[in-house]
Amino acid sequence: MHSWAFHQLGRFIAYKAAQAGVALVHVDPAYTSQACSFCRHVARANRPKQSTFRCTSCGFAEHADVNTALNIAARGVAGWAAVGLPNVA
């Protein structure tokens, strides 16, 4: 599994989701590791170390991976809401 390219893994996931009839929401990961999952402030200084996250705006602190996962989940929820919108022509 470690030799797979992320693009190829994404294609496999999309294929299996379509085959199972499961909706798939793509999330832009840009700045998810630098954004505060509490106040949404984005700054490089929010990541003083690889595993540490501390918001320079509101002071929220969390393990960096947990904070990033919360940001990705929030973007996924927003993307899911957009998928459910009716087509307006």
Check residues 65 and 83 and name the one with the higher pLDDT. Answer: 65
Interval 20-40: pLDDT, tens: 998 888 899 999 999 999 999
85 pLDDT exceeds 70? Answer: no
Q: Are 41 and 58 in contact (CB under 8 A)?
A: yes
Q: Do the beta carbons of residue 37 and residue 77 sit within 8 Å?
A: no
Whole-number pLDDT of residue 28 = 92
Confidence of residue 79 (pLDDT cuts 50, 70, 90): confident
38-73 confidence digits (pLDDT tens): 999 999 999 999 999 999 999 999 999 999 999 999
Closest listed residue to residue 39, CA positions, set 59, 15, 17, 19: 59
Query: What is the pTM for the complete model shown?
Result: 0.78
